A and B are shown apart, each in its own frame.
Chain A
């Protein structure tokens, strides 16, 4: 009970001020049959800090961590080195334990960070503006689709087969209830991204095409060509970036004509975290600002004319428009946005480019090594930090066999696409600046052993 400051003496003194006999009397409005007389049965009682820490440490030890093993997983979550100063700074109590900045006079720290974050994201994506973050890449993608629907007043979205299958599943869940029509297909393991198939599916009813860049198999679609084809039909291009580090080397989606760019910001500052919390990124053309979901920070002045920042354009939001709101989102990923922003500030444009260059080089070295393993075929011709290979047998089992040898060897396509037997032998392999030559060799050797 170390977190509770009231003493028994305080409690009695306060109860007498209130005029109640006991704390239980304050729950008089709860129907008697629903009131628990004592602690809810079947649950343990309080534990000391030491005991809780020991329990959690024991559980933690039951996982094989990315840092302990040669590690090659990606598919929408990437392992990068996060400078120590990032975690130190986000743990400052004034950031960590601050509330949503609804009282701007005493939240300028958070607000200035959000304004800087918005600017960084807009520059990275090549969009006019960006918001102060959403939950994650998958939910941001759905928000991009619904926003395109509001703008075009159409209900059909064409999803490229290179879009992360979990993002497709998220959209499918939502579309089932909103009545949006989604056009999807499973990817074909071919060297090139299937830009032609996406373009062929666009028609006069299409609100948007959603194209991941680089896509889930690591291929790099021709966004500029797709943008032209979409816009010719009055549709919008929603580009999805699950690995923002790629934009250190690749042309930004906005510069290639994307109208809305969404992404997963986990790569910078946030870490793997077993899938969350992550960081939804969202940028778009300035003319769409009033249709944009999520929180926005804007610059203004105070009563003395000094520059300051506030949350703005909240007339789009749920607390004002209720059932007519642009979205029901009530929060952002503020702390993750802070971590992203600090990491990106430490990198700068030059650092991000070097980080991207290094990730790309290590991925190429990995591909070169795997190409020497008998039975392994590299699928991609072009890629950034992640590529697909085909194996001579079901990749799910191969991944488990590698794990037995303490090598985390990638993500099997069978796990991502459980119904698609044509993809069952596919394996996604990702590298980053954390990948060492020893890691690459360990993967190659282990793969040679398990494929025998």
Chain B
């Protein structure tokens, strides 16, 4: 067991480290906070937590490629597995435990009804290539969700298959490219404002475009003059985020879209922040041609420690003919038809093919649809309203203790932006973030967006109560005070998490990506 604790039995930590409970134990455990070895340290290849029938005794048909050595993979009995993963789970912070104020990431409450419906057998235990008459329930979910997405965005069509937000960006750009190619127009440049998500320029490059940056104005919005001046016959489109990553609404989006269209290009909108306007503003009315919707952000799918996500892309009338296969279409008799390659030449002659195998993230579609039906058109309007209300409440509650660079640039949307201006010498946003951990909160998004130094992007979302926000604001005020005064305890935070600050430089310099005995 000493391997778990490389320092061996450790002496009590000294008081000047600020430990309040500086008791070290033989096991490395701290009461209910348990250390857990790696699977490879507790499992063995001959242990198995699954029972199997006896296989019929037939000669094998594997040809010459039968494995010679047995697989070196550790196994666990069922109780060992349950304990291993339950213990590991306790080392995670999660939205079920408390506020997750992550700007640009939208961590909101995950309704358990959505989990229940996602597991209904008619959606979860059906194969993507079953005959269409046997999967009408699943196809109707996709079609019903597609209808909502189109109605909520005021668009013409939707590509449901992209598997995540960044995959949706790629889908949208490929639609733009396909539309341009269809009119024989080989444009090469995508304009991306500085405040865009890092995926935007990466996506444009992956779709074969040259990326040019457009600066932001001092009030945190796209420099419209710079953008329109750059438009020309080589510009395929603009990727814009609205509400943008500074938490502000791009007031001039319609003007920008008109100018882009006049110059023969298309407008891609990064819809990661649709949460802030859903049910109140239809992006189609602002001239957007393509926008992905992160179902997991706007319509609440569990983030699962990083995914899976889902990124359907709504399309304008100009781009809808170019979306990928497959997609659903409602028939006159009420059934839903899946349009695949076989039907495409007649129904969808200009579509560009598949983005992935099969039909997209069904498990996310069921969750999103259940969430949408629960809220309805009135509830979704309240969702965006409360999200924006909560963010502005946090902005006003903190702007006298934390610098808010765009605090005067208009109401923030669903996220409030602060900087580390005024912190004591040597203290940074990271220290405040790590201090939040000791206070029982997940840190806000740090160092993003890149438009100024030491960014802190706070997104409370609509599922936080006023009492919860008051507690968070009080905590942030106290931490801001400590950062201004240069409290050394803040500099070495977190003190109370399962781990102290981790050495990320070591991890990158000498990568250890797999376990070796």
Contact = CB atoms under 8 A, between A and B. Distances in A.
B362 A275 contact: yes
Interface in B1-45: 4-7, 10, 13, 28, 36, 38-40, 43-45
Nearest to B492: A303
A21 interface: no
A272 B124 contact: yes
Contact of A313 (B285, B306, B383, B508): B508
Given A3-B463, A249-B67, A52 B499 contact: no
Given A99-B102, A320-B198, A354-B48, A107 B359 contact: no
Contacts of B305: 95, 98-101, 107, 109-110, 113-114, 334-335, 338
Interface in B423-479: 433-434, 437, 442-443, 448, 462-466, 468
A97 B91 contact: no
Contacts of B55: 354, 357-358, 360-361
12 contacts: A27-B281, A31-B254, A36-B280, A61-B122, A99-B107, A99-B306, A115-B515, A271-B124, A303-B501, A323-B205, A335-B302, A350-B75
Classify chain B's interface size. Answer: 35 or more
B332 interface: no
Nearest to B362: A274
Interface in A175-230: 176-179, 220, 222
B129 interface: yes
Interface string A39-55: 11111111101011101
A299 B246 CA distance: 34
Interface in B205-255: 205-208, 211, 248-249, 251, 254
Contacts of B381: 36, 38-40
A116 interface: yes
B163 A220 contact: no
A43 to B, nearest CB: 4
Interface stretch (A128-136, A153-161, A443-451): A128-136
B120 A56 contact: yes
Contacts of A272: 124-128
Contacts of B128: 77, 272, 274-276
Nearest to A40: B377
Given A14-B466, A361-B58, A382-B61, A135 B370 contact: no
B314 interface: no
B303 A105 contact: no
Contacts of A251: 65-68
Contacts of B76: 345-346, 348
Given A14-B389, A348-B48, 5 more contacts: A97-B302, A299-B513, A307-B6, A351-B50, A360-B62
Interface string A45-82: 11101011101110111111111100101011101000
A2 B302 CA distance: 18
B309 to A, nearest CB: 5
B97 A94 contact: yes
Given A43-B377, A312-B508, A344 B73 contact: yes
B183 interface: no
A172 B61 contact: no
A321 B200 CA distance: 11
B137 A403 contact: no
Contact of A136 (B152, B201, B357): B357
B269 interface: no
Contacts of B177: 177
Contacts of B420: none
Contacts of A314: 508
Interface centre among A300, A313, A321 (most CB of B within 10 A): A300
Contact of B123 (A14, A60, A104, A310): A60
A108 B91 contact: yes
A97 B117 CA distance: 17
Contacts of B265: none
Nearest to A23: B385
B355 interface: yes
B242 to A, nearest CB: 10
Interface string A102-130: 01111111101111101110111000111
B92 A348 contact: no
Contacts of B126: 63-66, 272, 274
Given A275-B362, A350-B48, A52 B370 contact: yes
B514 A130 contact: yes
Contacts of B374: 2-3, 46-47, 49, 52
Contacts of A333: 306-308
Given A18-B392, A139-B356, A299-B512, A103 B437 contact: yes
A114 B130 CA distance: 33
A35 interface: yes
A372 interface: no
Given A345-B74, A346-B49, A103 B433 contact: yes
Given A3-B109, A40-B152, A107-B93, A45 B167 contact: no
Interface string B74-87: 11101001101110
B499 A64 contact: no
B249 A29 contact: yes
Contact of B358 (A77, A323, A364, A415): A77
Given A63-B138, A99-B305, A360-B61, A6 B507 contact: no
Contact of A96 (B110, B122, B370, B508): B110
Contact of B52 (A176, A349, A354): A354
A85 B82 contact: yes
Nearest to B512: A299
Given A103-B443, A274-B135, A350-B45, A334 B306 contact: yes
Contacts of B148: 43
Contacts of A323: 201-202, 204-205, 211
Contacts of A375: none
A73 B443 contact: no
Contact of A94 (B90, B131, B433): B90
A346 B76 CA distance: 5
A89 B97 contact: no
A73 B129 contact: yes
Contacts of B392: 18, 20, 26
A120 B137 CA distance: 36
A350 B46 contact: yes
Contacts of A362: 56
Contact of A77 (B124, B127, B249, B448): B127
A364 B492 contact: no
B273 interface: no
A85 B137 contact: no
A342 interface: yes
Contacts of A322: 198, 201-202, 211
Interface string B175-211: 0010000000000000000000111011111111001
A381 interface: yes
